[in-house]
Amino acid sequence: MKSFWAIVDLPFKWTAYVLIQFYRYTFSAIVGRTCRHAPSCSEFTRDAILRHGFWPGGWMGAARIWRCRPGGTHGYDPVPEAKPERARWYLPWRYGRWRGGEL
């Protein structure tokens, strides 16, 4: 049986997925794809949300978008396999890697 939080997270997870896919195939295609990372920031955020849930994955995606700014990082940057050990739901910024390098 699924946990309570897994069931509660499901509508948020799939709503975020649909919105990200909508962005990828409309606005991103019009503006142009300029992400400095592989996978792109929208793919990273989508995969992080699907793998880790809406709250942690959304914060991982926000940190990735922050790193993609001018002067930020570039290159191959996959979604982490596991959530950071020091991250807690009430300390959400700890889910993301806000600077280059390892967490």
Q: Is 70 within a domain? A: yes
Q: Is 22 within a domain? A: no
Average pLDDT, the chain: 86
CB 36 within 8 A of CB 67: no
Q: Is 11 within a domain? A: no
The number of distinct structural domains making up the chain is: 1
pLDDT at position 46, please? 94
> What is the Cα–Cα distance from 102 to 99, expressed in whole angstroms?
9
> What is the Cα–Cα distance from 84 to 103, expressed in whole angstroms?
8
- Other C-beta atoms within 10 Å of 82: how many? 7
> What is the Cα–Cα distance from 19 to 13, expressed in whole angstroms?
10
Domain that holds residue 63: 36-103
Q: Is 30 within a domain? A: no
> What is the value of pTM for the model shown?
0.84
Digit-coded pLDDT (tens) for 44-67 = 999 999 999 999 999 999 999 898
Q: Is 12 within a domain? A: no
Q: Is 26 within a domain? A: no
Q: Is 84 within a domain? A: yes
